[in-house]
Structure 1
Amino acid sequence: MDRSWMNLPRVNADYRNGVEYFLNLAFANASQENMILCPCKKCANVNWHFREVVHEHLVIFGFVPGYRKWTFHGELTSRTASSTSNPPFHYNSHHGSPREDDMEGML
């Protein structure tokens, strides 16, 4: 699909239709516990959010610059023909929210 809509003003109907297309693809291919990594400028594919939050972020903040190949959202690259590139999903039970980092594992 042509992704020129990603460069349009965020109030443009074609941009919003493109966001819906992206969300449908991402939630069909890469959701974990009904959440995906948010590709907005603020979250930069680090924070996991529900569909409504990701939609809001993409309309308010736009996509992180340069994110044209949606590898974190189920789009395969030539190198990863059999799996997606999503980082592990971790659930932080202390705070009751998902998190993507593993500080203990990094030490």
Structure 2
Amino acid sequence: MTKSTKTKAQTRQEIESQIENFIREQGEIEQVEMGASGLQDGKYNTSNMGFIEPKKERTPLNHIVAAIQQRKSDKKPAPIPSVKPRKPQKKVIYDDFGEPIRYVWED
């Protein structure tokens, strides 16, 4: 069983119908000035702002960072793979009709 999600158009239609029902039941929509709903007594409501608390002390972790850096530097670097000489490969030479004529070794 899959859950069907509402489209934006369906959500808009639902909100419109709720507004119409509210108005039909003698509800009244009050117009307010832009930005006025965020104000209390003409000022911003500072009780909801996140910078009210005093600054908290941070726990120093320098010794932990130093230990991690030490472990990183203690690791041996990965060995550089040696380059092996390539083996010669056998290549087929074909004629104009696609028939093999001879084999040639290429480096």
TM > 0.5:
no
Compute the TM-score of the two structures, normalised by the length of structure 1.
0.21
Larger RCO (CA under 8 A, 6+ residues apart)? 1
Q: Which has the higher Rg, Structure 1 or Structure 2?
A: 2
Compute the TM-score of the two structures, normalised by the length of structure 2.
0.21
